[in-house]
Structure 1
Amino acid sequence: MAPNGETLIASYPRNKVDVPQRPRRISMEGLQRAISDLSFQLGKEAVETALPPISEVEDAKCECCGMSEECTPEYIGRVREKFSGKWICGLCSEAVKEEMVKNGGKQHKALEAHMSVCVRFNRIGRTHPVLYQADAMRELLRKSSRAERGQSSSPRDREGVKKKGGIARSSSCIPAITKEIDKCKSLTDRLKP
């Protein structure tokens, strides 16, 4: 509204005669009718779209890693059917698929390989993570030494392996540390009055 109480003419759309139109007032009766029509439509749609019954869920425990999931009995049955009667979680099923690619598509062997890795991890890795990491490093070294043994044994090839790098064996650092400590002690002894 303008300061003198009149409405601004530019704020309303103009008709062909260029006469300002006043905004339509909504009556309370019309508003109540619109609300009741809307509620009727919403109630009608709710009746028409009945939801299917939800089947009960069960806890299923993965036979590889031991993780539990809530699943329907139908889903549990499909997974057991797919993996030789064993129920495995989604993460383990992906790992089995990857193992199948490595093993040439044999699902039974892939499942056994993944289960043995999970059993080993659950036995050692969860209780003693440092030992598990050391064991994994030992396996890496064992595999790399097998790969070196598979190559020819000519001296020329051995030099190439040394140049490529690898884990070199070194002596212990404890004698160097004790030597430094002894030097520090002798300096402090000299400085004492």
Structure 2
Amino acid sequence: MAPNGEALLASYSKTENTRKPPRLSMESLRRTISDISYELSKEAAIDTKLPPISEIEDAKCECCGMCEECTPEYINRVRDKYFGKLICGLCAEAVKEEMEKNEGKVEEALNEHMSYCVRFNRFGRTHPVLDQAEVMREMLKKSTSRLEGRGARAKSMSPSDKGGLKKGLARSSSCIPAITKEIGGDRGMGE
């Protein structure tokens, strides 16, 4: 501590007029407790009865298998909405996306998503790398089928396609022979 720290503390305690809080009498404490209980009883009379709390159950999604804690009322609402199937919130969002593709047909979207989940649970969880490759293959297949459907195809930038050079960079010949020649020439010098 600084050398003047003790002096500072001593001067502070002398100048500061510290008073102890007033003591409460037992009578004032009883009056305060009585006032608080009176206020609480007034609020209890005003409050309406709260509905009983439903028991929470573990519910398992019929698509992905994830478990959630749900009330029976919520489970019934979900089953009514999705043709008796209990699905989690994530799968419900995926079904909504499928509905946009299927012009709002809920049952078709639900069946499509459930078949995808079954396929994923059988193969994707055990072989994630192969599943990712399969998904990429399907995406490529869909994108090429869309391009072919519009009549647009990827065109080559090769100068031999049109008979002349186009603007931009084009490869005129391979560089492999030049590299091979250099490597072969270095061997001849070293030997």
| Range class of TM-score, shorter chain | 0.5 to 0.7
- State the AA in 1 paired with 2:115: S
Query: Relative to structure 1, is the Cα distance of residues 6 and 62 closer, same or farther in structure 2, using a 3 angstrom cutoff?
Result: closer
Residue 159 of structure 1: aligned partner: 156
Query: Relative to structure 1, is the Cα distance of residues 3 and 142 closer, same or farther in structure 2, using a 3 angstrom cutoff?
Result: closer
- State the AA in 2 paired with 1:127: T
Deviations along 1:95-114, one digit per CA (max 9) or x if unpaired, are 11121111111111111111
- State the AA in 1 paired with 2:121: N
Measured in 1, the distance between the counterparts of 2:135 and 2:39 equals: 65
Query: Relative to structure 1, is the Cα distance of residues 103 and 6 closer, same or farther in structure 2, using a 3 angstrom cutoff?
Result: closer
Query: Relative to structure 1, is the Cα distance of residues 147 and 31 closer, same or farther in structure 2, using a 3 angstrom cutoff?
Result: same
Cα offset for 1:44? 5.3
**TM-score w.r.t. structure 1 length?**
0.61
Cα offset for 1:152? 3.3
Query: Relative to structure 1, is the Cα distance of residues 126 and 46 closer, same or farther in structure 2, using a 3 angstrom cutoff?
Result: farther
Measured in 1, the distance between the counterparts of 2:39 and 2:152 equals: 85
Measured in 2, the distance between the counterparts of 1:59 and 1:48 equals: 36
Residue 33 of structure 2: aligned partner: 35
Establish whether residue 137 from structure 1 lines up as the match of residue 133 from structure 2: no
**How is 1:22-61 mapped onto 2 (pairs within 5 angstroms)?**
27-28=24-25, 29-42=27-40, 45-46=43-44, 49=47, 50-61=49-60
Measured in 2, the distance between the counterparts of 1:120 and 1:6 equals: 79
Cα offset for 1:5? 9.9
Task: List runs of 5+ in structure 1 lacking aligned partners.
Answer: 8-23, 161-193
Residue 149 of structure 2: aligned partner: 150
Residue 184 of structure 2: aligned partner: none
How many residue pairs match? The answer is 144
Cα offset for 1:115? 0.9
- Percent of residue pairs identical: 60
SS of the counterpart of 2:59?
Answer: strand
Measured in 1, the distance between the counterparts of 2:139 and 2:15 equals: 89
Residue 111 of structure 1: aligned partner: 110
